[in-house]
A and B are shown apart, each in its own frame.
Chain A
Amino acid sequence: MNNSDRAADIRIDFILISQMIKEGSTVLDVGCGDGDLLEFLSSQKNIDARGIEITASGVKNSISKGLSVIQGNAEKDIKFYPDNSFDYVLLSQTLQAVNRPDLLLKELLRVGKKAIVSFPNFGYWRVRFNLMLKGTMPMNKTLSHPWYSSPNIHFCTIRDFVGLCDELDMKIINHMAINAGGIKMKFDHLGIANFFATQGLYLITKD
């Protein structure tokens, strides 16, 4: 995977997230990296932006851009925000890397009125075939690490995610799927999306 692939990937992610967000809302980006998404949303939707980021370089770059970002651990530090303090809490490509995705999802919707969660889909057909035919853990654009050094410790499929939302009594307001070409695909049928999408993108709220 090279940088231009990543840039194309992230761009579509950003645009789709931006479409889900109302103008002038308050947004917390959990795992905000260098703050690119927050900066994008600030320019597009004039949001009141905050972020949590664990890496020193991400925090430094974010704060240097003038963003309000704290260096911290998403699962630990989110606990200190009051209930309903944000219109939206974003979790972009991070769910699979946390200790307890279920508890974090609950926290996202305690702190935020709505949450937007994007994640790599382990149900993508190439992933399935890779495991079935080669018998090895899959690696591709969105799953770019070998199994032993991967920060991704809790993979899920789009269907798994929907199941978890159901279990946690969370309501799905909107869902989108992104295919291997980095293009938003039709989402008429869960099974088809779960087979062809490389990423899932969900707007959820408390039931």
Chain B
Amino acid sequence: MKNKKPINMPPNKSQYENCKIKQFDRALKLDSTEELKSLQIAYNTYGTLNKDKSNAVMVCHALTGDQYLIGHNPITNNGGWWELMVGSGKAVDTDKFFVICPNVLGGCAGTTGPSSLNPETARPYGLDFPVITISDMVRAQVMLLDYLGIDRLLTVMGGSMGGMQALCWAAEYPDRVAGCIPIASTWRHSAQNIAFHEVGRQAIMADLAWNKGNYYEKEQRPSAGLAVARMAAHITYMSEKTLTERFGRNLQDREKLGFGFDADFQIESYLRHQGISFVERYDANSYLYITRATDYYDLSAGHGSLSEAFEGTKTRFCVLSFDTDWLYTTQESRTLMRALNASKAHVSFADLSMDKGHDSFLLDCPEMFDMVSGFLSATMKSLDRGGNL
């Protein structure tokens, strides 16, 4: 049986290495009013949960991230994606904190998503997978937190889409989060944000191999479409300054223009490499579903205003942005900060000066580490005093 499985079928749960898997038998109700009958969450934990379970920090990953925060990542064969931030002696110190990092709902690193087997058909969901939202991702994380027996997170944090989940936690489960750190993130997807995602989705869906989402049992996957989607998105993660300094108009492995459509320029070669290496580790349908979730994201929806989403909150916030981030701009973080002030929340906000644009949150930024560390200690202290929450 196993030998007959087509090459593109999702792996068995035992095949996800170096992480924990929790299978829930309870249904997950979704914003779309549909239900997921069964849910599996792949996650990692680092550090030790203390006696009164007050030192848990949840790190939510970005669009194409995974649960491999630190240590060996078997998908990329590299180290974890946030080793600069999390670890022994780091800002999110695993000697002090119990760090939880789940793969998001809709993802493709072990948590239930469009590439998972639909229990009703015993085949991959494909487009039968229901459309999900950021709130749905958080709802799944709440189930994981319940399973771990933790009432309240010391802090929930994340960069980019991870920050959206963190904010969603704070807005929808205010009693369960003492602190919230959205980094390089936003409170809603703007028209420009949606536009870039739509380009990516159209690229995937224009690839014939996509086959309306039914490619798992075929020989070919929509790799070309997914690679183009990644290339377009990757541009938005970098600042113009980075592109100019790193690539400029430099030619790739040639002395003069080729008068053809090979990758003449280094930037083309770089983007192609980004696209190709991405398709090896990521599922095209997951990309559709997760970008859709971020497009639907608007914290002010259903409230009179953004500040009403946080009315009466006792959660402490630390909003961080980067001055060269043109994907989720400083202005969006400032609007969020002002709304939080209007709701009388405890809020810190800093706009960090970094050259590298949106992706700066993943890079070496000592100011960011100092502030995260100070914020976590202060949040811990305020809990010890019984203050604030």
Question: What is A's interface to B at a CB cutoff of 8 Å?
Answer: 50, 56, 59-60, 62-72, 77, 80-82, 85
Which partner residue on chain A sits nearest B349 by CB separation?
A70
Q: Measured between C-beta atoms, what is the minimum distance from B339 to chain A in Å?
A: 8
Give me 15 other A-B pairs in contact (C-beta within 8 A), A59-B350, A77-B341 excluded.
Answer: A56-B350, A56-B353, A59-B349, A63-B348, A63-B371, A64-B370, A64-B371, A66-B378, A66-B379, A68-B346, A69-B348, A70-B341, A70-B347, A72-B334, A81-B341
- Contacting residues, chain B, for A62 (C-beta < 8 A): 348
User: Which one, A67, A72, A81, contacts B378 given CB within 8 A?
Assistant: A67
* B348 and A68 within 8 A (CB): yes
CA distance A85 to B316 in the complex (A): 16
With a cutoff of 8 Å between Cβ atoms, the chain A residues found around residue B346 in the complex are: 50, 68
Interface residues of chain B, those whose CB is within 8 Å of chain A, are 316, 318, 334, 337-339, 341-342, 344, 346-353, 367, 370-371, 373-375, 377-379, 381
Cβ contacts under 8 Å, A56 to chain B: 350-353, 367
Contact of B350 among A50, A60, A66, A77 (CB under 8 A): A60
Q: Provided the pairs A56-B353, A66-B377, A66-B378 are in contact, do residues A80 and B341 lie with their beta carbons within 8 angstroms? A: yes
Establish whether residues B374 and A64, one from each chain, have CB atoms under 8 Å apart when the complex forms: yes
Tell me, rounded to whole Å, the shortest Cβ–Cβ distance linking A165 to chain B: 26
CB nearest to B333 among chain A residues: A71
A64 to B377, CA, bound (A): 9
How distant is the Cα of A59 from the Cα of B381 in the complex, in angstroms?
20
Q: Is the CB of B348 within 8 A of A60?
A: no
Can you name the residue of chain B whose Cβ is closest to the Cβ of A60? B367
Are A71 and B351 closer than 8 Å at their CB atoms?
yes
Q: Across the interface, do A66 and B381 meet the contact criterion of CB distance under 8 Å?
A: yes
A85 contacts across to B, CB distance below 8 A: 344
Q: Give the top 4 A-B pairs by smallest Cβ distance, nearest first.
A: A66-B378, A64-B374, A80-B338, A70-B349
Residues of A with C-beta under 8 A to B349: 59, 70-72
Residues of chain A contacted by B344 (CB below 8 angstroms):
81-82, 85
Do B337 and A60 touch (CB < 8 A)? no
Task: Please give, as numbers and ranges, the residues of chain A lying within 8 Å of B350 by CB-CB distance.
Answer: 56, 59-60, 63, 70-71
Tell me which residues across on chain B come within 8 A of A63, comparing CB atoms: 318, 348, 350, 370-371, 374-375
- B374 / chain A contacts, CB cutoff of 8 Å: 63-66
How distant is A129 from chain B, measured CB to nearest CB, in Å? 44
